[in-house]
Amino acid sequence: MKAFPAARSEARLLVPALMFIALVVAAVASLGTPLITSVATSFHVSLGSAQWTLTVALLSGAVATPVLGRLGAGPHRRATILATLAVVVAGSALTVLPLPFAWLLAGRAAQGVGLGLTALMMGVARDHLPEERGSAVIALISVVSIIGAGVGYPLAALLAELGGVRAAYGLGLVVTAAALLTAWRSMPQAPEGRSAHVDVAGAVVLAAALLLVLFLAGERDLWSRHLAVAAGLAVVAVVLLCVWAVIELRSTTPLVDVRAVRHPAVAGANLAMFVGGIGMYLLLTLITRYAQTPHGAGYGFGLTTFVAGLVLIPFSVLGFVAGKLTPRVRTRIADPLLLAGSAVVVGGGFALFAAARSDLADLFAAMGVLGFGVGGFSAAMPGVILAVTPKSETSSAMSFNYVVRSVGYSLGSAVGGLILAAGTGPGHLFPDDSAYTTAALIGIGAMAITTLTSLALARRRPSGTNP
């Protein structure tokens, strides 16, 4: 009887540790977003080059996620978590030290590796918490990994305005060091009997494919000026992804169990995540860019980077609220229906932005609606996938979903840039206001597809309550 209170106390300490680590890695990876202009100025590089401080973090995170997911499924999960956080801390130090721009990119790549820890945090929760409690914590981890960007953006922007880009990246060094200490004190060992081997060939091919995908997503000028080259590279990326799938199917120790991914529930959930991710990040991009557009363009509010970051507060707050509510609601409503409902909410955010954006309060309202929809969507997604996934494969299954999410988000940002670029007249610096309406309508279409996909999942799901 004496061990029971101790175990319960450990569980209480474990939950905030999991949340904190997931929040930190998400916030630190997103630090590149508000600092792109500051980096270009401080290091005397182009905005396109400075953009890579964000892209390289997303790329390394997308590549590291399935690798860490496979390692996290094995017996050395605690060591994997600690080693990964040590890499993130080292990368954070590189971003702070007075080194050339290439070292900053290396540091940002190391920070991005931490994005792969989110799926491992879910694996820990599923293994070491009671089933009902574990499901709720996994949902919140998924939400926290989204709202981390909303937390990091205004803080980084404020520090950049007060002390320069190094001060902003210094925030990342402090919090990642705290996350490493937290993990060292709280992360338990994986259950016995686990084994995991990394498919090196699959990892290399996947890295090459994702590099092309994210490069094409980030280089918007390539699509507008060299369409044939961009299309050719896109074909190469698709071929590489097909080769990777064949490698995984033939491997005895695949990086991702592609056969499991082909399960209708998992495939449908990943499709919903991909299309929904494009739509969600598209609206996030539209609102933040609209808020910073100067009045001289005939619209916009000319907000500074820091004040524009404050627009993300409703996104983070309502996203967390939705994440807290979802575990209670899912006892009565199936997860696929929650996905569909959340997609409708995000679509409502697009409609609100399309119809009303003449007042700053309109942007806050649209961002809040987006946050609530994204929070509910992120909280419900793990339940759809884990319902048909063995415990031992939790980290691997969710890591693939997070790769899909990263690619969807990157494409959402690229789609927004392409639409706005197409709506920018010759000799103009800023797009016409109508381009934002066009982008919002496209976003509504993306969320409609996501809703229909989620409803199709609900129709295939056997009747009954969520697991």
In this structure, are residues 69 and 206 in contact, taking their beta carbons and an 8 Å threshold? Answer: no
This prediction has a pTM of 0.81
Q: CA–CA separation, 294 vs 307, rounded Å?
A: 13
**How confident is the model at residue 1, as a pLDDT?**
40
Give residues with Cβ within 8 angstroms of 317, minimum separation 6. 368, 371
* Axis-axis angle for helices 101-112, 32-43 (nearest 10): 170
**How confident is the model at residue 195, as a pLDDT?**
61
**How confident is the model at residue 88, as a pLDDT?**
96
**How confident is the model at residue 56, as a pLDDT?**
84
**How confident is the model at residue 464, as a pLDDT?**
44
In this structure, are residues 140 and 19 in contact, taking their beta carbons and an 8 Å threshold? Answer: yes
The string of pLDDT tens digits covering residues 454-465 is: 999 888 655 444
Give residues with Cβ within 8 angstroms of 244, minimum separation 6. 202, 205, 206, 209
Q: CA–CA separation, 179 vs 185, rounded Å?
A: 10
The string of pLDDT tens digits covering residues 384-424 is: 888 878 777 777 778 788 888 888 887 887 788 788 888 88
The pair of structure tokens assigned to 326 is 């979802």
270-to-5, 21, 261 alpha-carbon distances in Å:
39, 24, 8
**How confident is the model at residue 194, as a pLDDT?**
62
User: For the chain, which residues score pLDDT lower than 70?
Assistant: 1-12, 32-34, 47-48, 149, 193-196, 218, 220, 224, 460-467
Q: What is the largest CA-CA distance in the chain?
A: 76
In this structure, are residues 429 and 294 in contact, taking their beta carbons and an 8 Å threshold? Answer: no
Q: How many residues does the chain have?
A: 467
The pair of structure tokens assigned to 245 is 């799938």
